[in-house]
Amino acid sequence: MRDLIRNEIKEYVLESKENWLEEIQDRYFDEPIVKFASSEDPLFEEYKKIIDIDHLTPKEAFESFFGKDSYEGGTVISIVLPINEKIIKSNAAKKDNASKEWALLRAFTDGFRIGLNKHLVNFLEQKGYKAVAPADLEEFKIYSTLSGPSSNWSERHIAFAAGLGTFGINDGFITEKGIAIRLTSVVTNLTLIPDIRKAESHTENCLLFRNGICGACIKRCPVNAISKDGHDKIKCWKYVYGDESRKLAEAYGGNSAVGSGCGLCQTKVPCECKNPTAIFP
């Protein structure tokens, strides 16, 4: 069943007519990576301390949709959507703001992610199981904290639990296909063998954390929101969602409501398309 699910997701991403950007005559997203986490993994409870008390566990997310006591265990399916290299290269050439291709990706991503989630949920239902995408629930929320914006279902933390990668100094998520990615996930009552989380720390894939020899993303940030001390989420948020970002998105033909994004710290860096620490023992 694990292989069936992986193949279904890959087929949807690679064959979807929506997954096509005219500007580059190629896909927005390349072949996805899919891994599985047990909904009983104690890390999900730990997230209430690490992230916030309101961060949902898989059980809470499932039962918020299907009702109290409806969940008796299962699996979290986490999906990495690697961004096409042509889009990455277009953004790598920029210094102060996002490229047109990157801005159009930003406008495209949410709708595609929702469509993929619905497809996977329907696939599981046809097999006799229940499933829900927590980030698409009415209960999903993004809210302000003293350190910046947070959500009650962090796709990056879900992906970490599934063993898909670790965090960088810029708070991005570095997978085997790099940091220039998008993430999504689905919770199901289908119980599957979970993938092994091999990382010894939550920052293992970041060269700066691991070897102290990088910091490329620090130099790439146009508003100095990244330093060796970490990531200023508030400064970053204001730039990514600010007026100039909205105007640029509109000029590009994107979605002014979500802005043009930035992504400079995810491109023209050693981790843009790969795990740069894979060469180290």
Judge whether 99 lies within some domain: yes
- Rounded to the nearest integer, the mean pLDDT of the chain is 96
pLDDT at 145: 81
> Quick one: average pLDDT of 124-149?
92
Judge whether 176 lies within some domain: yes
pLDDT at 280: 64
Spatial distance between the Cα atoms of 242 and 97, rounded to a whole number of angstroms:
12
Judge whether 106 lies within some domain: yes
Judge whether 161 lies within some domain: yes
pLDDT of 281 higher than 90: no
- Specify whether the CB–CB gap between 249 and 97 falls below 8 A: no
Judge whether 281 lies within some domain: no
Q: What percent of the chain has pLDDT over 70?
A: 99
Q: Residue 191 burial (CB < 10 Å; 0-12/13-18/19+)?
A: middle
pLDDT in tens, 53-71: 999 999 999 999 999 999 9
Alpha helices in the chain (DSSP H): 2-15, 43-50, 58-66, 85-92, 100-126, 155-161, 207-211, 216-220, 233-241, 243-252
Report how many domains make up the chain: 1
Domain span at residue 120 reads: 2-276
pLDDT at 147: 77
Reference 77, options 143, 175, 137, 4; nearest CA is: 4
> Quick one: average pLDDT of 108-113?
97
> Quick one: average pLDDT of 258-269?
97
Quick count: other Cβ atoms within 10 Å of Cβ 48?
14
Reference 222, options 206, 240, 201; nearest CA is: 240
pLDDT in tens, 168-226: 999 999 999 999 999 999 999 999 999 999 999 999 999 999 989 999 999 999 999 99
- Specify whether the CB–CB gap between 135 and 155 falls below 8 A: yes
> Quick one: average pLDDT of 253-265?
96
pLDDT of 149 higher than 90: no
Judge whether 25 lies within some domain: yes
